[in-house]
Amino acid sequence: MANIPIYDGDPQFVSGSSTPFGFYDSDADFQADAVKVAKFCASRLGYPIVDIELQSGSFFTAFEEAVTTYGNELYAYKIRENYLSLEGIDGNYAETGSLGNYNDKLLSPTLARIIAISEQYGVEAGSGGNVNWYDGLIPLTASVQEYDLDTWAVEEGVTGSIEIKRVFFEAPPAIVRYFDPYAGTGTDLAGLLESFGFGNYSPGINFMMMPINFDLQKMQAIEFNDQIRKSNYSFEIHNNQLKVFPIPDSSDINLKIQYLIKEERADAAVSNGSGKITNVSNVPYTNPIYTQINSVGRSWIFEYTLALVKEMLGYVRGKYSNVPIPGAEVTLNQSDLITAATAEKTALIERLRGYFDETSRKALLEARSQETEFRAKELNQVPFTIYVG
């Protein structure tokens, strides 16, 4: 086996061939720092006092991996912070849009996904949503109290299982059965106010001559009369089996219902995600631009590069645990290097994630709230000025 040259203290970075992926090779800052980091790591490992059984490319590879790891952690944090606002929006910016990727974009929280979730409540409450409600008319039959709505749906050609949302089986409102023996007499005020539409709701004279509580008591009396002295309009519905009260005495009534189709509600939960952000793996973030990483980020990258280099050197030295020399043997520090590298990598990742968590939107708002509270307490200690007039 030919002798392979090891690190000689003079790393030379060649764009396009010094790193495995070449993510940052065209970045002038990356090229300059790659050489400096190689010298830094070699010196920290004891060069030139001891040989470093690596090549310049080993240092450059570790440096590229450290930058990529930093970017992955950074953008994973950004995705966690903003995913509720990101899901469902167009994710093709990198290929087709003018925004490029999200690396340099300010992402503002939106209510889009919360609104999408609330649409489900709107469907059930009948106040909107993304599932259609349909109207239907059920002909009531004299002396028949129970009606199978599933059978009715089949007869009407409704496809799919239905769920009844509303049944319009109510007594006429009290206001249309309002009686006032004095209405329309005298000066014909009822006819006078008909031009305003009042006559359709209550005798027009009462809008002028009686307090509003009189009308309310009248309508309440009508409703109590229906409940106590007459059969009240009502219904029960269980498993699409409708039972109406009172028993119909005529076959000339069409009972109106509103319903939805269960399959449409299930289908509304799934939408076409083509070209949209559907999960954290297709949020359009790319590798960071090294030039834009500040000194805080670069310092972390340098330390992580050193940990990776230690790990590589440990595996290289682990091929031979003892090296014979004239009159003795040299024991290599493979286990020490790998142990130290593993601990340092774990600590650095935890430190970076902790730093990101401390600058999250939630943490910053909590800190601002505490700062406001402490400032108020401090101001309360300031003596109030006594004004003497």
Structure tokens at 12: 């030379």
In angstroms, how far is CA 253 from the centroid of its own chain? 49
pLDDT tops 50 at residue 204:
no
The predicted model gives 270-296 an average pLDDT of: 89
CA distances from 263 to 132, 162, 260, 328, 363 (A): 11, 9, 9, 81, 42
Tell me which of 89 and 366 has the higher pLDDT.
Answer: 366
Domain assignment of residue 106, yes or no: no
Task: Say yes or no: 183 and 60 in one domain.
Answer: no
The predicted model gives 215-229 an average pLDDT of: 80
pLDDT tops 80 at residue 37:
yes
Total number of domains constituting the chain: 2
pLDDT tops 60 at residue 157:
yes
For 325, phi then psi, to 5°, come to -130, 165
Per-residue pLDDT at 379: 85
Confidence of residue 231 (pLDDT cuts 50, 70, 90): low
What is the spatial distance between Cα 59 and Cα 38, in angstroms, rounded to a whole number? 5
Mean pLDDT highest for which of 206-215, 264-273, 276-285?
Answer: 276-285
Tell me which of 253 and 177 has the higher pLDDT.
Answer: 253
Task: Say yes or no: 322 and 214 in one domain.
Answer: no
The predicted model gives 315-323 an average pLDDT of: 76
Per-residue pLDDT at 148: 94
Range of the domain at 174: 124-268
Per-residue pLDDT at 101: 83
Contact (CB, 8 A) for 149 and 162: yes
Task: Say yes or no: 249 and 360 in one domain.
Answer: no
Task: Say yes or no: 215 and 342 in one domain.
Answer: no
In percent, how much of the chain has pLDDT > 90? 48
Structure tokens at 82: 């903003």
What is the spatial distance between Cα 218 and Cα 198, in angstroms, rounded to a whole number? 17
Structure tokens at 248: 């119909």
Per-residue pLDDT at 208: 55
What is the spatial distance between Cα 69 and Cα 61, in angstroms, rounded to a whole number? 12
In angstroms, how far is CA 219 from the centroid of its own chain? 49
96-127 confidence digits (pLDDT tens):
444 458 888 888 888 887 887 788 888 888 88
In percent, how much of the chain has pLDDT > 70? 83
The predicted model gives 150-163 an average pLDDT of: 92
Contact (CB, 8 A) for 5 and 55: yes
Confidence of residue 13 (pLDDT cuts 50, 70, 90): very high
Tell me which of 137 and 91 has the higher pLDDT.
Answer: 137
Confidence of residue 197 (pLDDT cuts 50, 70, 90): low
pTM: 0.70
Closest to 108 measured CA to CA, from 73, 90, 84? 84
Instruction: Write out 96-115 in H/E/C secondary structure.
Output: CCCCCCCCCCCCCCCCHHHH
What is the spatial distance between Cα 246 and Cα 197, in angstroms, rounded to a whole number? 33
Contact (CB, 8 A) for 74 and 353: no
pLDDT tops 80 at residue 370:
yes
Instruction: Report which secondary-structure segment, H or E, holds 314.
Output: helix 295-317
What is the spatial distance between Cα 281 and Cα 359, in angstroms, rounded to a whole number? 23
pLDDT tops 70 at residue 179:
no
Domain assignment of residue 94, yes or no: no
Per-residue pLDDT at 40: 97
Task: Say yes or no: 286 and 313 in one domain.
Answer: yes
Taking all residues of the chain, what is their mean pLDDT, rounded to a whole number?
Answer: 84
Domain assignment of residue 104, yes or no: no
Domain assignment of residue 115, yes or no: no
Across the beta sheet with 234-238, the strand order is 146-148, 241-245, 234-238
Task: Say yes or no: 180 and 70 in one domain.
Answer: no
Task: Say yes or no: 343 and 248 in one domain.
Answer: no
Per-residue pLDDT at 185: 46
pLDDT tops 80 at residue 48:
yes
Domain assignment of residue 65, yes or no: yes
Per-residue pLDDT at 329: 57
Token match 């992955």: residue? 72
Task: Say yes or no: 372 and 301 in one domain.
Answer: yes
pLDDT tops 60 at residue 156:
yes
Angle between helices 56-86 and 295-317 (to 10 degrees): 130
Structure tokens at 297: 């980020």
Task: Say yes or no: 148 and 262 in one domain.
Answer: yes
Domain assignment of residue 60, yes or no: yes
Task: Say yes or no: 224 and 357 in one domain.
Answer: no
Domain assignment of residue 16, yes or no: no
Q: Which of 224, 245, 268 is the last residue of a domain?
A: 268
Confidence of residue 201 (pLDDT cuts 50, 70, 90): low
Domain assignment of residue 32, yes or no: yes
The residues that bridge with 258 in the sheet, in sequence order, are: 135, 166
Per-residue pLDDT at 30: 97
Q: Which of 248, 268, 288 is the last residue of a domain?
A: 268
- The secondary structure of residue 181, as a DSSP letter, is T
Structure tokens at 211: 């307090």
What is the spatial distance between Cα 259 and Cα 135, in angstroms, rounded to a whole number? 7
Task: Say yes or no: 226 and 294 in one domain.
Answer: no
Confidence of residue 350 (pLDDT cuts 50, 70, 90): very high
Contact (CB, 8 A) for 315 and 284: no
Give the number of C-alpha atoms closer than 13 A to the C-alpha of residue 7, restricted to the C-beta side.
27
Task: Say yes or no: 215 and 320 in one domain.
Answer: no
Closest to 52 measured CA to CA, from 63, 35, 36, 38? 38
pLDDT tops 80 at residue 309:
yes
CA distances from 323 to 39, 268, 329 (A): 26, 69, 6
pLDDT tops 80 at residue 325:
no
Q: Which of 235, 268, 301 is the last residue of a domain?
A: 268
